[in-house]
């Protein structure tokens, strides 16, 4: 063994691995335990206060696949999945291997006034898996940046300025994406937003047609399954929206930032409905969660409408977007999804999850709905029939507080990391890594059943806890409900 390596026991298991020991390992060993205090001092004390209040202030030691370990060796099931960026599992060894190889190759990436094969190879792989309606790729470094690119390029390509999006949609937090978001909790305090942005009700083709018929809309931006709330499209909605966009000269832009790369049981969710958009935004899990990455896939017509001359050859882009590590992680992630059949796994595990959790609607007076597509899953709560004073008191203190009564004990008592699906929504959402297995699903389902049946009785201790959490976490709670 080299002097820079050592044998390290893996927390919570009998196994050991050979670990490189450099200044980084020493730094983490020396100061890792200070994470919460350091974060509070240097980054965001409100967020740390929130974590402490709701009991999420663990010291995280390790992650692998669908699991996290704290510094006491306890294993957690992660169904939050980094807001949906760990489709191929945390610390995927094959993606990591590709990244290490890329670093060791000392490649001449990001020449900027020059090109390298890796971005084009990833673009080729993306296009090979996308509908024929898209033929060019522009890389970005995040979902919001992919959306920004769609907005800018969509305007330039059509010569129109209006942008429509669906109510309850979420497209990111930069100013353009924010202008497309519907919910005031994201937009208030940050105005004025960009002009020309309007929302239409989700699943309402007539409202969409009324707006598009003015023939001044550059693009209609829509998630195939809305992330906030896991709202599924009505039959015919997305195909109908695409048809209307075609008829009125509007670009149809499908935001796959959250639904992409196997999340819904297809590589892209748009495959469920055979859509052929002009623009597709992707990001999040494309890099396996290792490196920021994103892309806008566009039709030839959009490309031609923007990059139409030598002076316009670099009309949009950003310095780091097609960097080597992002490109390599993207290539490795696509290979991993293919070779392990993770998209198919997502489809059938998702069906199992729905089958096992749907009975809760009948069984529990507080469960209104259980829904999902692939491994994008949600459970929605409601006031029990006949009414509940405690429920209404919770709602008065903070709308949708009940969902926290499930998220918190799921974490504290069952070691499952989950999230509320959106601000003001009584919906708990799961976006587990697609590498979860049936034991993990069992862990989740049995813990959920137990937690819901306890929470539906609204025991005093739990309610007191939720109220304290609500008061302490008012503002930063939005962050928990973000993705």
Ligand X SMILES: Cc1ncc(COP(=O)(O)O)c(C=O)c1O
Question: Which C-beta is closer to ligand X: that of 89 or that of 260?
Answer: 260
Rounded CA-CA distance 444/169 in Å is: 27
Minimum distance of ligand X from residue 106's CB (angstroms): 29
Minimum distance of ligand X from residue 257's CB (angstroms): 3
User: Could you say whether residue 186 binds ligand X (CB under 6 A)?
Assistant: no
- Cβ pair 100, 324 in contact under 8 A: no
Task: Spell out where 40-119 has E strands.
Answer: 60-64, 67-70, 75-78
SS3 state at 73: coil
SS3 state at 200: strand
The C-alpha angle with vertex 261 and arms to 260 and 266, in degrees rounded to 5, equals 85
User: Could you say whether residue 171 binds ligand X (CB under 6 A)?
Assistant: yes
List CB contacts of 293: < 8 A, sequence separation 6 or more: 139, 140, 141, 283, 286, 287, 326, 327, 329, 330
Which span (124-132, 168-176, 398-406, 465-473) binds ligand X, by CB under 6 A? 168-176
Which span (164-172, 246-254, 270-278, 455-463) binds ligand X, by CB under 6 A? 164-172
Nearest to 288 by CA among 323, 340, 349, 332: 332
Question: Which C-beta is closer to ligand X: that of 143 or that of 350?
Answer: 143
Minimum distance of ligand X from residue 170's CB (angstroms): 5
Question: Which C-beta is closer to ligand X: that of 142 or that of 346?
Answer: 142
User: Could you say whether residue 328 binds ligand X (CB under 6 A)?
Assistant: no
User: Could you say whether residue 149 binds ligand X (CB under 6 A)?
Assistant: no
Which span (141-149, 154-162, 359-367, 425-433) binds ligand X, by CB under 6 A? 141-149
Question: Which C-beta is closer to ligand X: that of 291 or that of 483?
Answer: 483
Among 87, 140, 142, 203, binds ligand X (CB under 6 A): 142
Which residues within the stretch 435-454 sit at the binding site for ligand X (CB under 6 A)?
none
List CB contacts of 235: < 8 A, sequence separation 6 or more: none
User: Could you say whether residue 123 binds ligand X (CB under 6 A)?
Assistant: no
**Quick one: tokens of 297?**
């896939």
Minimum distance of ligand X from residue 174's CB (angstroms): 7
* Site size toward ligand X, by CB under 6 A: 16
Minimum distance of ligand X from residue 59's CB (angstroms): 25
- Cβ pair 323, 290 in contact under 8 A: no
Which span (252-260, 391-399, 437-445, 450-458) binds ligand X, by CB under 6 A? 252-260
Question: Which C-beta is closer to ligand X: that of 98 or that of 257?
Answer: 257
DSSP result, 245-278: HHHTT-EEEEE-TTTTTTTTSSSSGGGGGT---S
The C-alpha angle with vertex 45 and arms to 43 and 51, in degrees rounded to 5, equals 110
Minimum distance of ligand X from residue 466's CB (angstroms): 25
- Cβ pair 118, 137 in contact under 8 A: no
User: Could you say whether residue 166 binds ligand X (CB under 6 A)?
Assistant: no
Q: Return phi, psi of residue 193, to 5°.
A: -80, 175
User: Could you say whether residue 202 binds ligand X (CB under 6 A)?
Assistant: no
- Cβ pair 381, 401 in contact under 8 A: no
Q: Which residue is nearest to ligand X (CB)?
A: 143
Question: Which C-beta is closer to ligand X: that of 53 or that of 226?
Answer: 226
SS3 state at 68: strand
User: Could you say whether residue 170 binds ligand X (CB under 6 A)?
Assistant: yes
User: Could you say whether residue 473 binds ligand X (CB under 6 A)?
Assistant: no
Question: Which C-beta is closer to ligand X: that of 151 or that of 405?
Answer: 151
Question: What one-character DSSP code corresponds to residue 151?
Answer: H
Question: Which C-beta is closer to ligand X: that of 278 or that of 456?
Answer: 278
User: Could you say whether residue 147 binds ligand X (CB under 6 A)?
Assistant: yes
User: Could you say whether residue 255 binds ligand X (CB under 6 A)?
Assistant: yes
Which residues within the stretch 62-101 sit at the binding site for ligand X (CB under 6 A)?
83
Q: Return phi, psi of residue 398, to 5°.
A: -160, 120
Nearest to 221 by CA among 152, 159, 268, 287: 152
Share of the chain residues as helix, strand and coil, in percent rounded to the nearest 5 = 45, 15, 40
Among 65, 109, 119, 172, binds ligand X (CB under 6 A): 172
User: Could you say whether residue 258 binds ligand X (CB under 6 A)?
Assistant: yes
Which residues within the stretch 208-237 sit at the binding site for ligand X (CB under 6 A)?
223, 227
Give the pairing type, strands 197-200 and 162-166.
parallel
Minimum distance of ligand X from residue 254's CB (angstroms): 10
SS3 state at 297: strand
Among 109, 143, 277, 305, binds ligand X (CB under 6 A): 143
> Which residues of the chain form contacts with ligand X (CB under 6 A)?
83, 142-144, 147, 170-172, 223, 227, 255, 257-258, 283-284, 483
């Amino acid at each position: 063994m080299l002097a820079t390596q050592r044998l390290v026991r893996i927390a919570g298991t009998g196994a050991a691995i050979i670990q490189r020991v450099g200044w980084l390992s020493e730094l983490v060993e020396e100061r890792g335990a200070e994470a919460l205090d350091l974060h509070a001092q240097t980054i965001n004390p409100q967020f740390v206060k929130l974590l402490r209040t709701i009991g999420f202030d663990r010291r995280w030691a390790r992650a692998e696949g669908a699991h996290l370990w704290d510094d006491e060796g306890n294993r957690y099931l992660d169904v939050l999945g980094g807001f949906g960026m760990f489709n191929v599992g945390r610390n995927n060894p094959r993606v990591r291997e590709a990244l290490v190889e890329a670093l060791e190759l000392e490649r001449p990436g990001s020449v900027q006034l020059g090109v390298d094969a890796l971005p084009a190879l990833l673009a080729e792989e993306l296009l090979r898996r996308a509908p024929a309606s898209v033929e060019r790729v522009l890389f970005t470094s995040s979902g919001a940046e992919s959306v920004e690119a769609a907005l800018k390029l969509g305007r330039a390509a059509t010569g129109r300025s209006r942008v429509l999006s669906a109510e309850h949609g979420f497209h990111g937090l930069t100013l353009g994406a924010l202008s497309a978001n519907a919910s005031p909790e994201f937009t208030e305090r940050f105005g004025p937003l960009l002009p020309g942005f309007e929302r239409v009700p989700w699943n309402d083709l007539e409202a969409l047609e009324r707006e598009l018929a003015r023939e001044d809309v550059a693009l209609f931006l829509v998630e195939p399954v809305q992330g906030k709330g896991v709202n599924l499209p009505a039959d015919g909605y997305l195909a109908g929206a695409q048809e209307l966009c075609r008829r009125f000269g509007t670009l149809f832009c499908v935001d796959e930032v959250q639904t992409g790369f196997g999340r819904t049981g297809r590589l892209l969710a748009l495959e469920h409905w055979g859509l052929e958009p002009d623009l597709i935004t992707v990001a999040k899990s494309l890099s396996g969660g290792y490196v920021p990455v994103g892309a806008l896939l566009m039709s030839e017509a959009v490309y031609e409408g923007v990059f139409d001359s030598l002076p316009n050859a670099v009309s949009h882009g950003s310095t780091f977007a097609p960097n080597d590590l992002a490109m390599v992680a993207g290539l490795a992630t696509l290979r991993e999804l293919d070779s392990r059949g993770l998209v198919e796994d997502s489809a059938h595990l998702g069906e199992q999850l729905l089958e096992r959790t749907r009975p809760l609607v009948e069984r529990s007076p507080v469960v209104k709905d259980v829904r999902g597509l692939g491994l994008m899953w949600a459970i929605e709560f409601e006031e029990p029939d006949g009414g509940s004073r405690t429920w209404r008191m919770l709602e008065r203190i903070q709308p949708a507080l009940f969902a926290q009564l499930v998220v918190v004990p799921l974490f504290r008592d069952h070691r499952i990391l989950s999230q509320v699906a959106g601000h003001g929504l009584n919906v708990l959402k799961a976006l587990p890594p697609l590498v979860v297995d049936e034991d993990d699903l069992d862990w989740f389902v049995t813990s959920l059943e137990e937690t819901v049946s306890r929470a539906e009785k609204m025991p005093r201790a739990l309610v007191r806890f939720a109220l304290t959490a609500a008061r302490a976490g008012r503002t930063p709670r939005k962050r928990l409900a973000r993705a």
